[in-house]
């Protein structure tokens, strides 16, 4: 039986899940870059980990091409670690911070060679160079289907625009989203909101007039204009 607290929370949960599903259905025909990118990296946990590292502060199509070049040259940590820093940098250019990322990729490959088990917990992933909380959560969700919500700029912005969260930090928004969504939906939040952010709810000039939520979203420019 649900506690009174959970019962109170329940309608908000249902509404959030329905909205998330509706957003996913709505953006699917627009083929957001994140869908193609995530599909292309799903081969192995290693490929997901390195692709996620490359994707930080980089557009998805650029990440996808850089990851393809890198994995064509070296598909496993054992082969990749034999590449020089200059080679890795050249292969992944022009991803953001490519020199630092190249250094971190080689350090990760050395760690993976030494460790018997692939890192599969938040703590183990956070111990790797260049892997922050957002990246670790994304790897957990994509590589291991562990319930986790990766809060990047799209998730942060849209969660606040929809009033699903009000926190001022990614960690605070992550906690609020975990409260709002049942665990089994956590892995879907990032992909759906990133895709939504790439196509409709953009950082600047969101396409509110074309948005499925234009009449209900608390940040809708359409509603604001009507009430002005
Ligand atoms: S109505 Fe505008 S601000 Fe609200 S979710 Fe849609 S695009 Fe974003």
pTM of the model: 0.85
Are 156 and 107 in a shared domain?
A: no
Q: How many domains does the chain have?
A: 2
Query: Do residues 38 and 142 touch, judged by C-beta distance below 8 A?
Result: yes
Are 46 and 74 in a shared domain?
A: yes
Are 21 and 51 in a shared domain?
A: no
Two tokens at 55?
């994707």
Are 60 and 122 in a shared domain?
A: yes
Are 171 and 199 in a shared domain?
A: yes
CATH number for position 211: 1.10.1670.10
Q: What is the mean pLDDT of each run of 10 residues along the chain (228 residues)?
A: 48 92 97 84 86 93 94 96 98 97 98 91 96 96 93 97 97 96 95 96 96 96 70
* Residue that finishes a domain, picked among 103, 126, 144: 144
Per-residue model confidence (pLDDT) at position 65? 95
Pocket of ligand 1 (CB under 6 A): 161-162, 200-201, 206-208, 211, 213-214, 217, 219-221
115 belongs to the catalytic site: no
Q: What is the largest CA-CA distance in the chain?
A: 62
* Residue that finishes a domain, picked among 119, 144, 169: 144
Are 105 and 198 in a shared domain?
A: no
Q: Check 134, 207, 214, 215 and give the catalytic one.
A: 134
Are 62 and 157 in a shared domain?
A: no
Per-residue model confidence (pLDDT) at position 173? 98
134 belongs to the catalytic site: yes
Are 62 and 90 in a shared domain?
A: yes
CATH number for position 91: 1.10.340.30
Per-residue model confidence (pLDDT) at position 36? 82
The whole domain housing 160 covers 4-30+149-227
CA of 208 to the centre of ligand 1 (A): 5
Q: Check 39, 60, 152, 224 and give the catalytic one.
A: 152
Per-residue model confidence (pLDDT) at position 221? 86
């Amino acid at each position: 039986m649900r506690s009174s607290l959970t019962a109170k929370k329940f309608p908000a949960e249902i509404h959030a899940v329905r909205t998330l599903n509706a957003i996913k259905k709505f953006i699917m025909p627009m083929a957001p870059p994140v869908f193609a990118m995530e599909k292309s990296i799903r081969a192995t946990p290693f490929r997901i980990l390195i692709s996620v590292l490359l994707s930080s502060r980089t557009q998805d199509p650029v990440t996808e091409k850089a990851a393809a070049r890198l994995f064509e040259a070296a598909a496993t940590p054992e082969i990749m670690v034999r590449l020089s820093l200059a080679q890795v940098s050249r292969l992944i250019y022009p991803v953001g911070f490519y020199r630092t990322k190249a250094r971190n990729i080689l350090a990760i490959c050395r760690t993976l060679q030494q460790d018997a088990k692939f890192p599969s917990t938040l703590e183990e992933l956070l111990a790797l160079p260049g892997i922050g909380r957002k990246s670790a959560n994304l790897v957990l969700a994509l590589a291991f289907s562990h319930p986790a919500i990766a809060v990047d700029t799209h998730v942060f912005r849209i969660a606040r625009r929809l009033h699903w969260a009000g926190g001022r930090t990614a960690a605070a928004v992550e906690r609020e989203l975990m409260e709002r969504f049942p665990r089994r939906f956590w892995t879907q939040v990032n992909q759906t909101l990133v895709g939504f952010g790439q196509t409709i709810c953009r950082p600047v000039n969101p396409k509110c007039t074309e948005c499925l939520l234009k009449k209900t979203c608390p940040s809708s420019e359409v509603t604001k204009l009507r009430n002005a």
